[in-house]
C-alpha cells in the first residue's frame, strides 16, 4: 500500500509543481487570462472534456485490441491498465514507467509480450505522428516564411542518413536492444503479429490524433486566433513531429512542446501567452485529468494471481 500511495503522491506533487512553479507561465496570470477571455463556460468545458474523453477512449480501445492477441481483456481492464499506467509513469523519463506499469497487471508468463505490445502500440502512434508531421512540415516551409539554411539542412540530412546506415550496420554486429529486447526478437514479434490487428491499431492511433489535434485547434478558436483549419493543422502536425523526435524527460515534455509551439505559431503571428495557455490546457485535459482517475486504479491495484 505504501508503494501505491508513493506513486499517487509523486504524481500529485509533480502536477502541483508544474502548475505553481512554471517560469514561463505564472499560474495566477494563467487563471486571470482564462477568466478575462471567458474560456471556461459550461459549454466549452463540456466540449473540451468530450474531446479528451474520445482521445483516451481510442487509446484504451487500441490497447484492448492489441492485447487480445495474447489474452482477452474487458474494456474495464483496458481502462484500468491505461489510466493506471499513465499515473504511474507521469514523472518518469519519456514515460518509460508505462511499460512496467502495464506489464505488472499480468502474470509473469505474459509480461515480456505485454512490454512488446506496448512498444508496438507506441510505435503505431509515433508512425501517425511522423507521417502527418512530415506532410505538415513540407507545407509549413512553403506556406510560411521559415528561415532555413537548405544547404546546411541537406548536409545534416546526408550525415544523418550515413549515420543511420553505419548504426544499422553496427547493430547487426552487436547485441543492441530496445526496451531489453534484441532487434531480431522485435522483428519476429512484429512479423508474427496479425496484420489486421496492426492495421486497426494504426487506425485507432489516427483517430486519436484527429481528436487531440482538433482540440488544439478548438482552443485556438476560443482564444480568438483567426486561422483556417488547414493552416492550423500544418503547424500542429509540424509541432508534434518536432516534439516527438526530441528525447526528453516527461517532466520537461510540456516545456519542449511549448518552446516548439511558440516558434511555429509565431510564424503565423499568434500571441505567445495564448500558445502557452493552450499548451497548459492541453496538458491539463489530456494528462492531469486522466491521471486523477488513474490514481484510483493505482490505489486499488492488486497483483494478478499465478493462474492468470
Domain boundaries, the chain: 2-142+193-299
Residue 6 has pLDDT above 80, yes or no: no
Query: Does residue 41 come out as left (phi exceeding 0), alpha (psi in the -120 to 50 range) or beta?
Result: beta
Cell of 262: 511558440
Q: Tell me the C-alpha distance between 138 and 177, whole Å.
A: 33
Task: Determine the pLDDT at residue 253.
Answer: 54
Nearest Cα neighbor of 84 from 283, 300, 264, 229 is 300
Write out pLDDT tens, residues 123-140.
999 999 999 999 999 999
Of the candidates 231, 212, 235, the residue with the CA atom closest to the CA atom of residue 282: 212
Question: Helix or strand or coil: residue 61?
Answer: helix
| 272-283 helix and 253-266 helix, angle to the nearest 10 degrees | 140
Query: How confident is residue 168, by pLDDT bands cut at 50, 70 and 90?
Result: low
Who has greater pLDDT, 2 or 304? 304
CB 242 within 8 A of CB 129: no
Residue 270 grid coordinates: 499568434
Dist CA 122 CA 190 (whole Å): 13
- The grid cell for 285 is 485535459
Confidence of residue 62 (pLDDT cuts 50, 70, 90): very high
Local confidence band at 229 (pLDDT 50, 70, 90 cut-offs)? very high
Average pLDDT value over all residues in the chain? 81
Cβ pair 92, 108 in contact under 8 A: no
Confidence at 236, pLDDT banded by 50, 70, 90: very high
Among 116, 101, 108, residue whose Cα is nearest residue 305: 108
Average pLDDT estimate for 223-234: 92
From residue 239, alpha-carbon distances to 95, 216, 293 in Å are 19, 11, 28
Planar angle of CA 59, 123, 171, nearest 5 degrees: 160
- pTM tops 0.95: no
As a whole number of angstroms, the distance between CA 27 and CA 221 comes to 22
Q: Which three cell numbers stand for residue 57?
A: 477512449
Three-state DSSP class for 191? helix
pLDDT at 297: 85
Non-local CB neighbours of 268 within 8 Å, separated by 6+ positions: 144, 227, 231, 235
Inter-residue contact 276 to 258 (CB < 8 Å): yes
pLDDT per residue as tens digits for the range 27-52: 677 777 777 777 778 899 999 999 99
Q: Nine-digit cell at 212?
A: 487531440
Q: How confident is the model at residue 249 (pLDDT cuts 50, 70, 90)?
A: very low
**CA-derived radius of gyration, the chain:** 21
pLDDT band at 65 (very low <50, low <70, confident <90, very high): very high
Within its chain, how far is the Cα of 283 from the centroid? Answer: 10
Strand partners, 178: 181
Cβ atoms of 93 and 250 closer than 8 Å? yes
Which positions ≥6 away from 284 have C-beta within 8 Å? none
Question: Crossing angle, helix 75-89 and helix 2-20, to 10 degrees?
Answer: 60
Amino acid at each position: 500500500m505504501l508503494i501505491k500511495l508513493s506513486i499517487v503522491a509523486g504524481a500529485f506533487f509533480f502536477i502541483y509543481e508544474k502548475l505553481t512553479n512554471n517560469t514561463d507561465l505564472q499560474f495566477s496570470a494563467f487563471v486571470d487570462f482564462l477568466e478575462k477571455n471567458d474560456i471556461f463556460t459550461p459549454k466549452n468545458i463540456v466540449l473540451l472534456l468530450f474531446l479528451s474523453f474520445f482521445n483516451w477512449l481510442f487509446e484504451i480501445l487500441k490497447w484492448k485490441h492489441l492485447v487480445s492477441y495474447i489474452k482477452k481483456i474487458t474494456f474495464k481492464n483496458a481502462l484500468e491498465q491505461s489510466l493506471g499506467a499513465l499515473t504511474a509513469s507521469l514523472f518518469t523519463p519519456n514515460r518509460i514507467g508505462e511499460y512496467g506499469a502495464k506489464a505488472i497487471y499480468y502474470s509473469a508468463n505474459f509480461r515480456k509480450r505485454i512490454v512488446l505490445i506496448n512498444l508496438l502500440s507506441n510505435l503505431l502512434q509515433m508512425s501517425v505522428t511522423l507521417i502527418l508531421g512530415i506532410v505538415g512540415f513540407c507545407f509549413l516551409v512553403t506556406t510560411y516564411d521559415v528561415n532555413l539554411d537548405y544547404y546546411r539542412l541537406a548536409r545534416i540530412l546526408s550525415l544523418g542518413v550515413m549515420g543511420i546506415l553505419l548504426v544499422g550496420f553496427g547493430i547487426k554486429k552487436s547485441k543492441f536492444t530496445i526496451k531489453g529486447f534484441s532487434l531480431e526478437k522485435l522483428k519476429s514479434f512484429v512479423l508474427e503479429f496479425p496484420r489486421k490487428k496492426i492495421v486497426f491499431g494504426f487506425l485507432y492511433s489516427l483517430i486519436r490524433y484527429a481528436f487531440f489535434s482538433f482540440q488544439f485547434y478548438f482552443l485556438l478558436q476560443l482564444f480568438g486566433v483567426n486561422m483556417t483549419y488547414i493552416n492550423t493543422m500544418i503547424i500542429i502536425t509540424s509541432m508534434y513531429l518536432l516534439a516527438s523526435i526530441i528525447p526528453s524527460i516527461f517532466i520537461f515534455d510540456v516545456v519542449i512542446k511549448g518552446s516548439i509551439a511558440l516558434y511555429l505559431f509565431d510564424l503565423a503571428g499568434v500571441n505567445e501567452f495564448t500558445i502557452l495557455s493552450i499548451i497548459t490546457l492541453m496538458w491539463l485535459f489530456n494528462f492531469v485529468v486522466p491521471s486523477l482517475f488513474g490514481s484510483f486504479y493505482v490505489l486499488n491495484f492488486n497483483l494478478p494471481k499465478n493462474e492468470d
